[in-house]
Structure 1
Amino acid sequence: MASRLHLLLVDDNVADVYLAREAFERHADHIQLSVCQSGHDALACLCDTQAPPPDLIVLDINMPGMDGFDVLEAIKADPGLVHLPVVMLSASDNPADVTRAYSLRASAYVVKAHDFATFLQQIDALVGFWTLCRVSGKPLRAQGRGL
């Protein structure tokens, strides 16, 4: 059986993290969810050479200190992390935010649904898509990393 998809959720909002955990819990047999509640914590986690890197990063934009764009930019500037897919998951549907995310090489941009039922469908699609992006049960990723 293929190993579970390791997903790193980066979001500072406690309520949003709770809802995301609820949504991802439906896929507990397919994913392993880790959570960081700040951009600085996420980068520290990603640079920990003792821990395996995530297969996918799901990143909020609006966070204090280091926002999601700053985190995305740092990930894509690091030769050891640049290969990691990053999905921006934000309440912002501002076209400038979407354009900026893609210009910084986000893999996808998802506007969080306002109702939980639709949000569950978004998470189902996200998990389904990224699970299918694996070859022989192993995620597509490079071996090296570190800032």
Structure 2
Amino acid sequence: MTRLLRIAVIDDNRSELFLLEEVFKTFAAQVKVTTYSDGKAAFDAMQHSDALCPDVVLLDINMPGMNGFEVLKAMKADAKLKCIPVVVLTTSMDESDVMQAYALFASAYLVKSGHFSDLLKQMKSLVEFWTRTRLMSWPSPSALDILQEVPLSR
């Protein structure tokens, strides 16, 4: 049996987190979701030496304290976390937000649907895609050695 897809959701909005938790209950046989309501707490938890890294991070950008862009920038600067795919999941349709997310190496930018059924479809597509494309052993020591040798930009 294949292990569950590990998803970390980072969003300061409690109602949004609750809604996503309800959506992911539909995929309980496929995913293990960890939620964080604070960008710094999420980053610190992933950085911990014995942390199981998520296969993908869903990241809101509009958060107090360490906002989503700061979390994304910090992740991409960290040798252990830089190759974890980050999907920006936000209500912002602002073009500058989209451009900034991709400039900081987000894997995708997804505007949250306001309707439960549409959000369910979005997350179904996300789960199907990342289940097929994730790394099955993450992080492996040899992968981390390779990552430290690869420059982030050219």
Do Structure 1 and Structure 2 share a fold, with TM-score over 0.5? yes
> In the alignment, what sits opposite 1:110?
110
Instruction: Report the aligned-residue RMSD.
Output: 1.6
CA contact (8 A) 2:4 2:31 kept: yes
**Structure ranking higher in helix proportion:** 2
Q: Tell me the CA shift for residue 139 of structure 1.
A: 5.3
Note if 1:47 corresponds to 2:47. yes
Tell me how far 1:41 sits from its aligned partner: 0.4
**What is the identity percentage for the equivalent residue pairs of Structure 1 and Structure 2?**
39
* Secondary structure of residue in 1 paired with 2:81: coil
Q: Residues 95 and 25 (structure 1 numbering): CA distance in 2 closer, same or farther, change over 3 Å? A: same
Moved more, 48-57 or 5-14: 48-57
Q: Any conservation in 1 of the 2:88–2:110 contact (CA below 8 Å)?
A: yes
Match of 2:149 in 1: none
Other-structure match for 1:89: 89
Mapping for residues 1-12 of structure 1, pairs under 5 Å: 1-12=1-12
Q: Aligned partner of 2:89: which letter?
A: L
Q: Say whether residues 1:72 and 2:72 are aligned partners.
A: yes
Which fold has the larger relative contact order, with Cα–Cα distance below 8 Å and residues 6 or more apart in sequence?
A: 1
For residues 50-78 of structure 1, give each alpha carbon's deviation from its aligned partner in whole angstroms, at most 9, with x where no partner exists. 22111111100110011000000000011
Unaligned runs of 5+ in 1: none
Q: What residue identity is the alignment partner of 2:110?
A: V
Deviation at 1:114, TM superposition (A): 1.7
* Map of 1:124 onto structure 2: 124
Q: What is the CA–CA distance in structure 1 between the aligned matches of 2:137 and 2:107, rounded to whole Å?
A: 15
Contact 2:10 2:60 in 1 (8 A): yes
Q: TM-score with structure 1 length normalisation?
A: 0.92
Q: Is the 8 A contact 2:6 2:54 kept in 1?
A: yes
In structure 2, what is the equivalent of residue 30 of structure 1? 30
CA distance in 2, matches of 1:139, 1:114: 34
Q: CA deviation at 1:86?
A: 0.4
Task: Provide TM-score, normalisation by structure 2.
Answer: 0.88
What is the deviation of 1:96?
Answer: 0.7
Distance in 2, matches of 1:47 and 1:140, equals 13
Structure 1 consecutive aligned stretches of length 4 or more whose deviation exceeds 6 Å: none
* Local SS of the residue matching 2:24: helix
User: Does the 8 Å contact 1:133/1:139 carry over to 2?
Assistant: no
